[in-house]
């Protein structure tokens, strides 16, 4: 059976979910998106994702042609149509069809698409043993360019960095910002642990303000763990006791090696494991609310 995709107000078969070659999302990466989890039939952190989509669109001056409630309903309709209880959702809004020129005023109908998929990004083994990452030479775009807080369809810096990771035999790439501080990975935020305290780069370190990152900060508070949003460098990562990444797709994945250096004893550490397990509980609890 073909999967159903939501496209501008309708659920259509995958084969019929086609985008015009004049769509500026296709021509220029002109659009915004969200990666969202549905656990136990419920959208995880619904408000945070929808608000972030609206904020991204606001900065790019794209008017989403649906209300927030309608978009939420479209997500649930797509999940139901594909018989999912747990799913990964890709929600996309492009500026819509225009001409070959850059003129955004000629694009009148932004396109809204919802794709639902079953997803496990990394194998169970990686969650047990951790992944290795490498610093990419491609930096995260500075906030006076397209602000990384905008989750735009233009992910080329991150894709270049991910290609660097692939050639280095690593699962992910660590991206620095223009100051040389640690920003994030290509599709995940980063946390380090040193002497029992957690650190993650602040929002102004040229990062996407990850929904999962913010959930982990909440979990730290619940667990009574000290966690701060402060800038740090690769030196802090190399000398950390533990490191892990967070994202809607990966959820929480331990990092055991960075640029060939082992982090801690080269195994996922106790605090990472504690938060990983608390995250599982948090998600279960959220699904029952």
Token pair listed for 199: 């650190």
Q: Which 141-160 positions form the footprint of ligand PMP (CB under 6 A)?
A: 158
Q: Under the criterion CB under 6 A, does residue 287 sit at the interface with ligand PMP?
A: no
Q: Where are the alpha helices (DSSP H) in 143-260?
A: 156-167, 211-223, 234-238
At which residue do the structure tokens 């605090």 appear?
271
With CB under 6 A as the contact rule, the residue among 79, 208, 253, 256 that binds ligand PMP is 208
Strands, E, within 148-233: which ranges?
172-176, 182-185, 189-194, 197-200, 227-229
Q: Under the criterion CB under 6 A, does residue 181 sit at the interface with ligand PMP?
A: no
Q: Under the criterion CB under 6 A, does residue 187 sit at the interface with ligand PMP?
A: yes
* Active-site residue flag, 151: yes
Number of residues that bind ligand PMP (CB under 6 A): 14
- Shortest separation between residue 283's beta carbon and ligand PMP, angstroms: 13
- Shortest separation between residue 207's beta carbon and ligand PMP, angstroms: 6
**Distance from C-alpha of 11 to C-alpha of 24, rounded to nearest angstrom:** 22
Phi, psi of 95, deg, nearest 5: -70, -15
**Distance from C-alpha of 266 to C-alpha of 262, rounded to nearest angstrom:** 5
At which residue do the structure tokens 């501008």 appear?
8
- Shortest separation between residue 177's beta carbon and ligand PMP, angstroms: 12
Q: Which stretch binds ligand PMP (CB under 6 A): 4-12, 97-105, 123-131, 208-216?
A: 208-216
- Shortest separation between residue 187's beta carbon and ligand PMP, angstroms: 4
Q: Where are the alpha helices (DSSP H) in the chain?
A: 24-28, 46-60, 68-81, 124-129, 156-167, 211-223, 234-238, 270-288
**Distance from C-alpha of 148 to C-alpha of 215, rounded to nearest angstrom:** 19
From 4, 129, 132, 151, active-site residue: 151
With CB under 6 A as the contact rule, the residue among 25, 98, 110, 247 that binds ligand PMP is 247
Q: Which stretch binds ligand PMP (CB under 6 A): 112-120, 182-190, 227-235, 252-260?
A: 182-190
Active-site residue list: 151
Footprint on this chain of ligand PMP (rule: CB under 6 A): 35, 158, 184, 187-189, 208, 210-213, 246-248
């Amino acid at each position: 059976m073909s999967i159903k995709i939501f496209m501008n107000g309708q659920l259509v078969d995958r084969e019929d979910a086609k985008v015009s070659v004049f769509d500026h999302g296709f021509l220029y990466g002109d659009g915004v998106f969200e990666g969202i989890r549905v656990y136990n039939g419920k959208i995880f952190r619904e408000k945070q994702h929808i608000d972030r989509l609206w904020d991204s669109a606001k900065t790019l001056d794209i008017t989403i042609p649906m209300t927030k409630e309608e978009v939420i309903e479209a997500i649930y309709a797509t999940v139901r149509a594909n018989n999912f209880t747990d799913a990964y959702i890709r929600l996309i809004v492009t500026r819509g069809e225009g001409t070959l020129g850059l003129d955004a005023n000629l694009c009148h109908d932004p396109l809204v698409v919802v794709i639902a998929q079953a997803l496990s990004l990394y194998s169970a083994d990686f969650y047990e043993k951790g992944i290795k990452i490498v610093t990419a030479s491609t930096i995260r775009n500075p906030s006076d360019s397209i602000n990384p807080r905008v989750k735009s369809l233009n992910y080329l810096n991150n894709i270049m960095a991910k290609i660097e990771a692939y050639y280095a035999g690593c699962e992910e790439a660590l991206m620095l910002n223009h100051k040389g501080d640690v920003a994030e990975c290509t599709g995940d935020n980063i946390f380090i642990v040193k002497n029992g305290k957690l650190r993650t780069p602040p929002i102004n370190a040229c990062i996407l303000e990850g929904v999962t990152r913010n959930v982990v900060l909440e979990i730290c508070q619940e667990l009574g763990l000290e966690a701060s949003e402060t800038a740090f460098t690769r030196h802090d990562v190399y000398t950390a006791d533990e490191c892990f990444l967070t994202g809607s797709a990966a959820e929480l994945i331990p990092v055991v090696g960075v640029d060939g250096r082992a982090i801690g004893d080269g195994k996922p550490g106790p605090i990472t494991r504690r938060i990983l397990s608390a995250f599982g509980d948090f998600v279960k609890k959220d699904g029952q609310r």
